[in-house]
């Protein structure tokens, strides 16, 4: 409040207005960007200005990949892409440098998987947010599932915790379908996953099998992910089951 010259009580009230009881399916992701465009505009400007500064200060070319999360419709993506592009143009004009960047989306909802062909007309990459895609496909919250998933595993209802290893027959099928539909529209689209599944060897093998380009995971799981990715790639080359 002090840095903006604003009333602390006004900031406090605004923060309270944005609070939610069920944030998993609530007012977040691209929905926040649609209803409060100043948030995404601020974030996009910060990304683009940082990219130009790095190139000026270090002589290293940076190509940001701006990812629009929780998209359910093509209209959401198109609206936000247009706003982000306008910010990029403004930054180029303000700083006198040209930017190279990609704009894509995080696929976290079943509807986005089904509409991937349409989304790929505007999105230059997909990153499958497997944590939320698992939540929305199963209709269960990762925060609450610890109360019953162990019992499900004991009784053989599920063989593995779907938040640890990708549920290939359900969540995986949506990813495979979205991969096919996305590539049918944009052959060079970049595809990957982000989430804890990116550090699970079984999930990485699945990603290799359907032809994803990369996996992303938390830092401490990177060594395991790199080893699993190498094993999956070698297995594919020598056709090992």
Which residues, listed in sequence order, are joined to residue 107 by a DSSP beta bridge?
Answer: 128
Provide the b/e sequence for 44-75 (b: ≥16 CB within 10 Å): bbebbbebbeeeeeeeeebebebbbbbbbebe
Mean pLDDT across the chain, nearest whole number?
91
The DSSP code for 219 is: G
The per-residue pLDDT for range 149-201, each reduced to its tens digit, is 999 999 999 999 999 999 999 999 999 999 999 999 999 999 999 888 998 99
Burial of 35 (0-12, 13-18, 19+ CB in 10 A): exposed
| pTM, full prediction | 0.86
Give how far the C-alpha of residue 180 lies from the chain's centroid of Cα atoms, to the nearest Å: 18
Per the CB < 8 A criterion, the answer to whether 70 and 106 are in contact is yes
Residue 106: closest CA among 87, 88, 125, 81 = 125
The per-residue pLDDT for range 108-137, each reduced to its tens digit, is 999 999 999 999 999 999 999 999 999 999
What's residue 241's pLDDT? 38
Per-residue pLDDT at 223 exceeds 60? yes
* CA-only gyration radius of the chain, Å: 20
Q: What is the side-by-side strand order in the sheet with 214-216?
A: 65-68, 102-107, 125-129, 190-194, 214-216
∠ CA 40-43-44, nearest 5°, is 85
């Amino acid at each position: 409040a002090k840095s903006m010259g604003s009333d602390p009580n006004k900031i406090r009230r605004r923060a309270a207005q944005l609070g939610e009881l069920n944030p998993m399916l609530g007012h977040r992701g691209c929905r926040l960007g649609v209803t409060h465009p100043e948030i995404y505009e601020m974030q996009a400007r910060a990304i683009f200005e940082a990219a130009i500064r790095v190139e000026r200060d270090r002589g290293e070319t940076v190509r940001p990949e701006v990812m629009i999360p929780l998209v359910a419709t093509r209209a959401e993506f198109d609206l936000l892409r247009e706003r982000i592009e306008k910010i990029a143009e403004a930054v180029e004009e303000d700083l006198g440098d040209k930017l190279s960047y990609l704009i894509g989306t995080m696929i976290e909802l079943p509807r986005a998987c089904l509409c991937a062909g349409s989304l790929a007309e505007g999105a230059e990459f997909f990153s499958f947010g497997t944590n939320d895609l698992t939540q929305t496909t199963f209709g269960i919250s990762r925060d609450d599932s610890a109360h019953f998933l162990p019992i499900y595993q004991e009784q053989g209802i599920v063989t593995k915790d779907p938040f640890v290893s990708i549920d290939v027959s359900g969540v995986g099928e949506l990813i495979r379908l979205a991969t096919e539909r996305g590539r049918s529209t944009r052959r060079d689209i970049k595809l990957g996953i982000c989430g804890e599944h990116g550090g699970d060897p079984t999930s990485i093998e699945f990603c290799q099998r359907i032809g994803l380009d990369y996996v992303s995971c938390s830092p401490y799981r990177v060594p395991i992910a790199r080893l699993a990715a190498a094993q999956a790639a070698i297995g594919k080359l020598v056709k090992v089951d």
